[in-house]
Structure 1
């Protein structure tokens, strides 16, 4: 079970494809039962994720946990109903053809929802950031290095051939599409593989950008700490860093992001348009289950997992 909490800090190769038609399945959970159980346990899961990175003190723990409780209460009450409405709209696409521009518009809408969710977290996050110690920033730096090393092993696969890395990419993205549409036909698999090979995505550039973003974050945290920055300064800085996840401050990579996004939108549109009636029906049913999950979670009081 996986869950992305607060900010999308871990972009994936074709994560943007799923941002359009796979949506984000209520913050990144996939199975129906896992959505309901995982979301209800969201504050706890988020706490574990954050504590692993920052190693909070006993004095910080209550503030962080209260902030997470408040954020999830806000999200449940104000965001899940809108997610459900959008998932209902997406189900209607089973009878339509899609243009790449439509897919990019859908993706941009989900990006904005994530930005809204991140912005809601920033006031509390800024206050917590101001309490971090030099030792905690060193802990974060070590953790970030481990995460980046794991990403390098996963996507660059040291010691493997270019053909092996390409096949791993194709297998990974085929599995993601099949999680929505079901088993792809041979012709669809071939076309998806061709499109992925032709994509402007460059794993080495992507990883270099991730390393740069990690360095940006650590540099900002240390600067705020050294200057004893006030909450407003830290909050504005966190907003900037969050926005830069969606649009890199480095022009060359920002252009790369644009090209990759356009290619991904074209891949999604082509696959959707080639889907059989049975595949489209399966996708609609999956989206319907996610919609029902979102509505049930929005209606359920915290601490009760709807069945």
Structure 2
């Protein structure tokens, strides 16, 4: 559910301009790597190929996933259901990253020393921004920022919350195992490993197939850490988050669930529009009583 909110950001995917995705992706990647003139056309071509594949291969899967979630949105939910949906979505996203690795490996092998230094500086800038967002020195400021973020995400799906629900959110944040210091430390560790792998690929002239394998492992460890302690933390946090989302959903009102149902249906419609499919006949009629 959280992944959906991140992906769609509360707006119609059509309004956001999925068709402009290749250009936006190019700008974002270039801000991290600073491609040279010879790399630019190959990079843009790879991005277009990825979006063509993603539109046809993955958007229908996302739409089907949303349909399943939408069909249960009026029911009480368990943490097991939430975690199951999350894992299904993560598996879909993993396929997207894997396809990106295959398309981008030749470009990654062409990166030079200056571009790796540029990436390192961009990592540092990004970390400073996240530090300001998540690691406020004053505990009260940090708590308030976390409350604001969480309320925004929940209201994006369910609509305006009440005071009882807000109290549940505050308690959930205060008891959450989320550790921003640990998270940022792991993020920086992964960044250093990424830079090290890029350096290795540039200096050892390994075959492209081996480079693909190295990059696949790099991506996998980004969301399933190779550090045993951090992996235990990831599992604990995921379980807690699923339980929190289930508890939050189960205290929502019929009006809020209707809001969530309509929001999910709109997202699903947008995805099917992008792929040229029509929304299937809705056999899961929403029948919540006010």
TM-score (norm 2): 0.92
Match in the other structure for 1:5: none
Match in the other structure for 1:255: 232
Q: What do residues 138-194 of structure 1 show as CA deviations (whole Å, max 9, x unaligned)?
A: 00010011101111111102xx41122111101111111000001111101101110
Answering whether residue 17 of structure 2 is matched by residue 38 of structure 1, we say yes
Query: What is the CA distance between 1:226 and its match in structure 2?
Result: 1.1
CA distance in 2, matches of 1:143, 1:113: 28
CA contact (8 A) 2:5 2:153 kept: no
CA distance in 1, matches of 2:8, 2:53: 18
Which is further off, 34-43 or 129-138?
A: 34-43
Match in the other structure for 1:55: 34
Q: What do residues 189-232 of structure 1 show as CA deviations (whole Å, max 9, x unaligned)?
A: 10111011101111100100110111110010001111122211
Answering whether residue 159 of structure 2 is matched by residue 175 of structure 1, we say no
Question: Equivalent residue of 1:291, what SS?
Answer: helix
Question: Equivalent residue of 2:38, what SS?
Answer: coil
Structure 2: unaligned runs, 5 residues or longer: 278-290
Q: What do residues 20-54 of structure 1 show as CA deviations (whole Å, max 9, x unaligned)?
A: xxx257x444311x544421100000000000111
CA distance in 1, matches of 2:98, 2:15: 24
Query: What is the CA distance between 1:250 and its match in structure 2?
Result: 0.5
Structure 1: unaligned runs, 5 residues or longer: 1-16, 301-307
Q: What do residues 259-304 of structure 1 show as CA deviations (whole Å, max 9, x unaligned)?
A: 110110011000111110000000000001000100011129xxxx
Question: Equivalent residue of 1:274, what SS?
Answer: coil
CA distance in 2, matches of 1:224, 1:24: 35
Name the Cα RMSD after superposition.
Answer: 1.4
> Which of 57, 75, 79 matches 1:78?
57
> Which of 1, 18, 27 matches 2:2?
18
Match in the other structure for 1:240: 217
Query: What is the CA distance between 1:55 and its match in structure 2?
Result: 0.5
CA contact (8 A) 2:10 2:157 kept: no
Answering whether residue 78 of structure 2 is matched by residue 94 of structure 1, we say no
Match in the other structure for 1:206: 183
Query: What is the CA distance between 1:126 and its match in structure 2?
Result: 0.8
Answering whether residue 112 of structure 2 is matched by residue 128 of structure 1, we say no
Query: What is the CA distance between 1:95 and its match in structure 2?
Result: 2.2
CA contact (8 A) 2:159 2:256 kept: yes
Question: Which ranges of 4 or more aligned residues in structure 1 deviate by more than 6 Å?
Answer: none
Aligned in 2, Cα 1:29/1:72: closer, same or farther, shift over 3 Å? farther
Match in the other structure for 2:201: 224
CA contact (8 A) 2:224 2:231 kept: yes
Question: Equivalent residue of 1:95, what SS?
Answer: coil
CA distance in 2, matches of 1:272, 1:178: 11
CA contact (8 A) 1:29 1:35 kept: no
Q: What do residues 65-84 of structure 1 show as CA deviations (whole Å, max 9, x unaligned)?
A: 00010110011111111111
CA distance in 2, matches of 1:106, 1:100: 10
Larger radius of gyration: 2
CA distance in 1, matches of 2:122, 2:14: 27
